[in-house]
Structure 1
Amino acid sequence: MQIQFNDHPVSCAENTTVVQLLSSFHQLKPGTALALNQTILPREHWDTHILQPGDDLLLFEVIAGG
């Protein structure tokens, strides 16, 4: 199935979880956040959330500052 990952089309198998996708790209790192279809997906859901065709994922680094 086709999804978008960081503004690039990506093919992945059906029933792929967010953790599986990020692991396949070596992007499962601390200090990152994920927006799924323009909504933040809490990290505790990454291992159970199954991706759907057409999903749009944006992975970004969380930066704290003042």
Structure 2
Amino acid sequence: MNITVNDIPVELSGTPSLREMLEQLGHGPAGSALAVNQTIIPRSRWAEHPVNEGDDILLFQAIAGG
């Protein structure tokens, strides 16, 4: 499956959920936020929300600072 994550083409195996996609990409859910096709997906739905062919995903990482 081919998707785009932060404007970078990515190929994933299978049909993962958002949580599984993060695992495949080596990102943990802590401090992360996701938008799929310009819609923020609540963390509580990541395990059930499927990633679909051609999805445009934005992955945000929280950074502490002052």
- The TM-score range, normalised by the shorter chain, is 0.7 to 0.9
Bigger drift between 47-56 and 24-33 goes to: 24-33
CA deviation digits over 1:8-52, x for unaligned, max 9? 111112321111110122212312110110110000111111111
**How many residues are aligned here?**
66
Q: How many percent identity over aligned positions?
A: 42
8 Å CA contact 2:15–2:51 kept in 1: the answer is: yes
RMSD: 2.0
Q: Which runs of structure 1 show a deviation greater than 2 angstroms over 4 or more consecutive aligned residues?
A: 61-64
The equivalent of 1:42 in structure 2 is 42
For structure 2, the residue ranges without an aligned partner over 5 or more in a row are none
Letter in 2 for 1:18: L
Q: Structure 2-normalised TM-score?
A: 0.82
